[in-house]
A and B are shown apart, each in its own frame.
Chain A
Amino acid sequence: MALSSSHDPELTLGRKIRQIPWVFVLLVTMTASVGFVMLYSAAGGNLEPWTSRQMPRFGVGLAVMLVVAVTDIRLWLRYAYVFYGLSLALLIAVEFVGAVGMGAQRWIDLGFVSVQPSEIAKVTLILALARYFYASRVEDVGRLTHLFVPALLIAAPVILVLGQPDFGTAVLLLFTGVVLLFLAGVRAWLFAFAGLAAVAAIYPVWQFVLLDYQKARVLTYLRPENDPLGAGYHILQSKIALGSGGLFGKGFLQGSQSHLNFLPEKQTDFIFTVLAEEFGMAGGFGLLGLYLLLLIYGFAVSLRCRNHFGRLVAMGITSAFFLNIFVNVAMVMGLLPVVGIPLPLISYGGTAMLMLLFSFGLLMCVFVHRDIALGPGAASGD
């Protein structure tokens, strides 16, 4: 088992290209196109300023996705920690040279493009954890001491992102990590214990750690209706938009809530509301259906994959994708507090789009290399 790739069928570039799941590529393009249409609507029936910029980004992202799909998966296995380290470095860098957007430091301006390191960290965290657990024996995973490193791997980006402060992304990172721990086989009672501990910690943290203004913010998170002109305002307006959309919506470009600016951040966080107002429940279900197909594909790839690294990467990416969708949609429907998470593939935003397509590339890469067995030594790179 020293070097298992020798007896696997070696994949040529041509064979890899033929392996690319074009149906998946089509689904991704369709979903992104829904986004273009909604950005066009959010701009009041204009390509400017969002659609016209989002489309080329998607083009670049699509190319990146396809390139990543045909790369050798061992490359990502081998350099998983390196990529992880680089993204941590970017997260630290953003503290010093980051641009402030929406009251938090989230961006690094590279001149021609601004990068959001937290979006990159979402992918590199999955890679790093998959790399770690791929190399672990199943009985080790059950041991508490073995969890020290993955806990550190998760905590580092979570804490850095929390400090930006970007509560929403930090929570997503944390949950993505937890999902991977769960998939890797960490004992179930540990999750139960951690959950209980978190609940138990609420009281002392509330009483002794949180300052008054932080408490106030938490309270508004929990009960937005109490503050209809403040934090609760946006969520109420979003609910009004959704509700007034009804079954089939008000029609394209006819959403009064969106076009009269009652919706905040309609090109990013609240784009789902624009869709559901103009195309109603039918439109919303249509988009959720597309997402569902993409998720099912991710699951299928993961379960079909014969190497553990690939499985973990595929399931990690799929779960992160799901979490993104769920948090955003639940937020605009008033089920979760407003935390500022964009809707994947639809919301306006470069880094998020690029990194999502990059992760989809990895997913496809896993699919392309599904039958390649990766021995424990595959990461050493000889």
Chain B
Amino acid sequence: MHRDSDRYRLFSRRSIILGGSQAVLFAALAGRMYYLQVVESERYTTLAEENRVSLKLLAPPRGRIVDRFGRPMAVNRQNYRAMLIPEKAVDVARALDTFSKVVPLSEAETERILREVGRKRRFLPVLVRENLTWDEVARIEVNAPELGGVSIDVGESRHYPDGIYTAPVLGYVSAVSEKEMTGDPLLELPGFRIGKEGLERVHDEVLRGRSGTSQIEVNALGREIRELERREVQPGAEAWLTVDLELQKYTARRLGEQAAAAVVMDAHTGDVLTLASTPTFDPNSFSRGLTPEEWRTLIGDPRSPLNNKAIAGQYAPGSTFKMAVALAALETGAVTPDSRVFCPGHMELGDATFHCWKPEGHGFMNMVDGIVQSCDVYFYEIARRTGIDRIAAMARRLGLGAKSGIDLPGEKSGLIPSRAWKKEVKGESWQTGETLLAGIGQGLFLITPLQLAVMTARLVNGGKAVRPRLTKELIPVDARESAVPDLPAFDSLDIHPSHLDLVTNAMAGVINSRRGTAFRARIKQAGRRMGGKTGTVQVRRISKAERETGVLKNEELPWEERDHALFVGYAPVDNPRYVVSVIVEHGGGGASVAAPIARDILREVQERDPSRGRPRAWLPEDGVSGPAEREG
């Protein structure tokens, strides 16, 4: 028993050591538990909540854009899309490979998808293909077991029913580029589009609306268990434009395939009824995503379809500038309406000879004759008497040479030079010859078609500083008040009414008197007669030799050397309401090319009379309820 008691003592001692160390380890467990469940509890609670709840962003439907009568110009269409969640697909390249066996993917598409997968967070879905047909949707659903990570959802895509006619006004939406990512998760939604040009860009944030969120309880596989909380989306506001869609379409069609622009405005309100630039592009293809080939065609076209010529095309005003010169001369007292100038067909200044468009000369001209017959010598002379700085000041008052402030991006300011400007920019002093040229709107002068329309409006509305606008109202879907303030009262330009009357009457004579340069383009219908002014701008120098042998006709010249054809007009002559400006690049003569176009547009706008009554021949379409009532 002695040996056993030895053994027992050893055993007991070691049992106690063992028990002690086990107690220490047990205490360690308890301590760890305390640390995790009490000390760090808050952190882990947050993590558990993040685990459990997945926040899903709900995209708001983009606000519609409608014309002044509520006719839809930009709408949303249902769009079946195949999405891929990289995290779930595991091997993205293989998943796409399988997908393209079901619905073929081009190499460019695959590249884009892989690029997007690379730059987005792995649990965010990436757009594989949109605008799927029913047949494609069915094929994808049938093959769903092999297409891990691919799912179908219904999104909305922007659609422009009359895209090729409305593109200069609306612009387009397209995919968010990397630079445009602001960190707003909405922008990271697959297939999300933002406005890139035109009103889509200007009103992007308002049209976009506010995203909703849906908090979804998910399990470890990301499968949705139930919705915990939902914040509804706030759809984008609806934009009501000043544009008359039918007139816009008519005008764009009338301009045809030429490189041209036309602006129609209400002279009193500044409502832009039409803003056309041709040729243009199909904004639907931008929304969809251009193929490289389409892109090359667009940028390779010498008629520059991507350039909105109505606001960003800059041209010398030519003879359409003569009203500004005349007003400057009258207002400063340099001439009286009856001051007479003799036109022998040219004018000498030093060594230089300045030619009239009519080589045989017009004879004695007063101001009305000068405008009606567009006598160049008459304007050389009164420009010389008035001086460049006064002419420039009047041009600016009429809205030339500065941005009009229209609600479109990319507007160009044009250029109205002055002595100080030339000194500063070119470092040279002004030459009298340049003043002479300014009299006929040639030289360094640059204006945009929109500025010409604004100028004409200011001439015929009694000298008010009307400003153009395209947006009438932005109406939030759930509110009734408008987001654009009422039309401001326009300041007076302080031009003597009799001077304005004289000039506008002369413009009426341009069209309606037999000697007028655009007599052939007149409107004969009583009460709808128009007034206007032609302009023809040389884009090349005519050499002395050529002048002697006979100036080449436009038809004999290559397209890019032909003259620009310009016209500004208004109607009706007795109570002017609508103004129009037309520019046809390399179109030829203002009287022969631009004037007939302007006449047709003015005839159409008076027929429709969008500023007053409701449109004829237009009935509410399905889903568009009585927007015409808003007009009342």
Decide yes or no whether A245 CB sits under 8 A from chain B. Answer: yes
**Chain A residues with Cβ under 8 A from B30's Cβ?**
285, 288
Decide yes or no whether B295 CB sits under 8 A from chain A. Answer: no
Q: Is the CB of B33 within 8 A of A281?
A: yes
Decide yes or no whether B554 CB sits under 8 A from chain A. Answer: no
Q: Is the CB of B44 within 8 A of A239?
A: yes
Decide yes or no whether A292 CB sits under 8 A from chain B. Answer: yes
Which of A246, A299, A311, A312 lies in contact with B45, CB distance below 8 A? A246
Q: Is the CB of B217 within 8 A of A260?
A: yes
Minimum Cβ distance to chain A for residue B380 (Å): 82
Q: Is the CB of B219 within 8 A of A243?
A: no
* Assembly CA distance A365 to B47 (angstroms): 49
Q: Is the CB of B33 within 8 A of A276?
A: yes
Minimum Cβ distance to chain B for residue A68 (Å): 23
* Assembly CA distance A298 to B18 (angstroms): 13
Decide yes or no whether A159 CB sits under 8 A from chain B. Answer: no
Q: Is the CB of A303 within 8 A of B220?
A: no
B interface footprint on A278-318 (CB within 8 Å = 1, 0 otherwise): 00110011001000100100010011000010011001000
Whether A262 contacts B11 in the complex (CB less than 8 A), given A138-B3, A244-B45, comes out as no
* Assembly CA distance A288 to B32 (angstroms): 13
* Assembly CA distance A256 to B40 (angstroms): 18
Decide yes or no whether B29 CB sits under 8 A from chain A. Answer: yes
* Assembly CA distance A246 to B47 (angstroms): 13
**Chain B residues with Cβ under 8 A from A241's Cβ?**
44, 48
**Chain A residues with Cβ under 8 A from B37's Cβ?**
242-243, 245-247, 276, 280-281, 284
Decide yes or no whether B479 CB sits under 8 A from chain A. Answer: no
Whether A329 contacts B29 in the complex (CB less than 8 A), given A246-B37, A260-B217, comes out as yes
Decide yes or no whether A137 CB sits under 8 A from chain B. Answer: yes
Minimum Cβ distance to chain A for residue B228 (Å): 11
Which B1-45 residues sit within 8 Å CB-CB of chain A?
3-4, 6-8, 10-12, 14-15, 18-19, 22, 25-26, 28-30, 32-34, 36-38, 40-41, 43-45
Whether A303 contacts B34 in the complex (CB less than 8 A), given A246-B45, A292-B26, comes out as no
**Chain A residues with Cβ under 8 A from B32's Cβ?**
330, 333, 335
Whether A185 contacts B11 in the complex (CB less than 8 A), given A243-B36, A256-B52, comes out as yes
Q: Is the CB of B34 within 8 A of A281?
A: yes
**Chain A residues with Cβ under 8 A from B420's Cβ?**
none
Which A332-370 residues sit within 8 Å CB-CB of chain B?
333, 335
Which A65-103 residues sit within 8 Å CB-CB of chain B?
none
Decide yes or no whether B221 CB sits under 8 A from chain A. Answer: yes
Q: Is the CB of A185 within 8 A of B15?
A: no
Decide yes or no whether A326 CB sits under 8 A from chain B. Answer: yes
Whether A284 contacts B48 in the complex (CB less than 8 A), given A185-B11, A247-B38, comes out as no
Q: Is the CB of B219 within 8 A of A288?
A: no
Classify chain B: how many residues form its interface, as a range.
35 or more
Q: Is the CB of B3 within 8 A of A137?
A: yes
Minimum Cβ distance to chain B for residue A67 (Å): 28
Decide yes or no whether A155 CB sits under 8 A from chain B. Answer: no
**Chain B residues with Cβ under 8 A from A179's Cβ?**
18
Which of A138, A280, A322 lies in contact with B10, CB distance below 8 A? A138
* Assembly CA distance A322 to B29 (angstroms): 12
**Chain B residues with Cβ under 8 A from A280's Cβ?**
37
Decide yes or no whether A206 CB sits under 8 A from chain B. Answer: no
Q: Is the CB of B52 within 8 A of A308?
A: no
Decide yes or no whether B298 CB sits under 8 A from chain A. Answer: no
* Assembly CA distance A244 to B18 (angstroms): 34
Which of A244, A299, A326 lies in contact with B44, CB distance below 8 A? A244
Which of A243, A312, A322, A333 lies in contact with B47, CB distance below 8 A? A243
Q: Is the CB of A326 within 8 A of B45?
A: no
Residue of B nearest to A375 (CB): B4
Q: Is the CB of B15 within 8 A of A138?
A: no
Q: Is the CB of B25 within 8 A of A243?
A: no
Minimum Cβ distance to chain A for residue B275 (Å): 55
* Assembly CA distance A285 to B48 (angstroms): 22
Minimum Cβ distance to chain A for residue B490 (Å): 64
Q: Is the CB of B22 within 8 A of A242?
A: no
Which of A184, A262, A299, A302 lies in contact with B219, CB distance below 8 A? A262
Q: Is the CB of B41 within 8 A of A326?
A: no
Decide yes or no whether A261 CB sits under 8 A from chain B. Answer: yes
Which of A137, A183, A244 lies in contact with B15, CB distance below 8 A? A183
Minimum Cβ distance to chain A for residue B54 (Å): 11
- The count of A-to-B residue pairs whose CB atoms sit within 8 angstroms is 125
A interface footprint on B133-147 (CB within 8 Å = 1, 0 otherwise): 000000000000000
Which A91-134 residues sit within 8 Å CB-CB of chain B?
none
Decide yes or no whether A267 CB sits under 8 A from chain B. Answer: no
Decide yes or no whether A51 CB sits under 8 A from chain B. Answer: no
Minimum Cβ distance to chain B for residue A170 (Å): 20
Residue of A nearest to B10 (CB): A185
Which of B28, B220, B225 lies in contact with A335, CB distance below 8 A? B28
**Chain A residues with Cβ under 8 A from B132's Cβ?**
none
Which of B4, B18, B221, B225 lies in contact with A319, CB distance below 8 A? B18
Q: Is the CB of B33 within 8 A of A244?
A: no
Decide yes or no whether B218 CB sits under 8 A from chain A. Answer: yes
**Chain A residues with Cβ under 8 A from B220's Cβ?**
237, 260-262
Q: Is the CB of B19 within 8 A of A299?
A: yes
* Assembly CA distance A256 to B219 (angstroms): 9
* Assembly CA distance A330 to B30 (angstroms): 10
Q: Is the CB of B51 within 8 A of A261?
A: no
Decide yes or no whether A268 CB sits under 8 A from chain B. Answer: no
B interface footprint on A253-282 (CB within 8 Å = 1, 0 otherwise): 000110011100000000000001000110
Minimum Cβ distance to chain B for residue A36 (Å): 22
**Chain B residues with Cβ under 8 A from A247's Cβ?**
37-38, 41
* Assembly CA distance A244 to B37 (angstroms): 7
**Chain A residues with Cβ under 8 A from B6's Cβ?**
138
Task: Tell me which of B37, B43, B217 has the highest count of chain A C-beta atoms within 10 A of its own C-beta.
Answer: B37
Residue of A nearest to B221 (CB): A261
**Chain A residues with Cβ under 8 A from B47's Cβ?**
240, 243-244
Q: Is the CB of A240 within 8 A of B218?
A: no
Which A28-86 residues sit within 8 Å CB-CB of chain B?
none
* Assembly CA distance A333 to B8 (angstroms): 37
Decide yes or no whether A182 CB sits under 8 A from chain B. Answer: yes
Residue of B nearest to A133 (CB): B7
**Chain B residues with Cβ under 8 A from A137's Cβ?**
3
**Chain B residues with Cβ under 8 A from A292's Cβ?**
26
Q: Is the CB of A246 within 8 A of B18?
A: no
**Chain A residues with Cβ under 8 A from B45's Cβ?**
243-244, 246
**Chain B residues with Cβ under 8 A from A330's Cβ?**
28-29, 32
Q: Is the CB of A246 within 8 A of B11?
A: no
Minimum Cβ distance to chain A for residue B227 (Å): 14
Which of B3, B11, B29 lies in contact with A183, CB distance below 8 A? B11
* Assembly CA distance A330 to B24 (angstroms): 13
Minimum Cβ distance to chain A for residue B116 (Å): 22
**Chain A residues with Cβ under 8 A from B26's Cβ?**
288, 292, 326
**Chain B residues with Cβ under 8 A from A308's Cβ?**
4, 7-8, 11
Which of B7, B33, B40 lies in contact with A138, CB distance below 8 A? B7
Q: Is the CB of A257 within 8 A of B33?
A: no
Which A174-211 residues sit within 8 Å CB-CB of chain B?
179, 182-185
> Which residues does A use to contact B, with CB under 8 Å?
137-138, 179, 182-185, 237, 239-247, 256-257, 260-262, 276, 280-281, 284-285, 288, 292, 295, 299, 302-303, 308, 311-312, 315, 319, 322, 326, 329-330, 333, 335
* 30 A-B residue pairings within 8 Å (CB atoms): A138-B6, A179-B18, A183-B15, A185-B11, A237-B51, A239-B44, A241-B44, A242-B33, A242-B36, A242-B37, A242-B44, A245-B37, A246-B37, A256-B48, A260-B218, A261-B221, A262-B219, A276-B33, A280-B37, A288-B29, A299-B15, A302-B15, A308-B4, A311-B8, A311-B11, A315-B18, A319-B18, A333-B32, A335-B29, A335-B32
Q: Which 7 A-B pairs have the closest CB atoms?
A: A243-B44, A244-B48, A260-B219, A281-B37, A244-B45, A261-B220, A262-B220
Other than the given A239-B44, A241-B48, 9 more pairs (CB < 8 A) read: A138-B6, A237-B220, A243-B41, A245-B37, A246-B41, A256-B217, A257-B48, A311-B11, A326-B25
